[in-house]
Amino acid sequence: MIQRYWEGNLEEHAIPIQLLCGTTFQQQVWQELLTIPRGEVRSYQEIATQLGKPKAVRAVAHAIGQNPILMFILCHRVIKHNGELGGYRGGEDLKAKLLQLEGFIINENAK
């Protein structure tokens, strides 16, 4: 499955979110992460707004931080609204590398 992801052949929406432990809100956030296409990013604010909770930016960030399977619920695609990469459990350098592998061009001033 990991090999298929790196080759760009993994159907990213195939993860059964409801099987994961987490609150209903966390599962909604994780499901939203699955809609972000390879090579694109979304801000925490955009995700909160998409979920109909535009003031829940911190709750979205917390839910993303609780993501139990980083390689399948791809939270590295979420950045700050100002373009900075933001946090990542694997470290900011790994987040940048994953985004670059997917074809996203990182603004070096935003790091």
What does the pLDDT read at residue 93? Answer: 94
Written as one string, the DSSP assignment of 40-101 is --EEHHHHHHHTT-TT-HHHHHHHHHT-S-TTTS-GGGEE-TTS-----TT-HHHHHHHHHH
**Ranges of each domain in the chain:** 2-7+23-110
What does the pLDDT read at residue 96? Answer: 94
């966390």: which residue's tokens? 26
What does the pLDDT read at residue 51? Answer: 98
Query: Under a CB-based contact definition with an 8 Å cutoff, are residues 104 and 92 in contact?
Result: no
Query: Under a CB-based contact definition with an 8 Å cutoff, are residues 36 and 67 in contact?
Result: no
What does the pLDDT read at residue 79? Answer: 96
pLDDT tens series, the chain, 111 aa: 556 655 665 555 556 666 678 999 999 999 999 999 989 999 999 999 999 999 999 999 999 999 988 878 899 999 999 999 999 998 999 999 999 999 998 887 665
Q: What is the CATH number of domain 2-7+23-110?
A: 1.10.10.10
Catalytic residues: 75
Joined together, the tokens standing for residue 70 give 């980083």
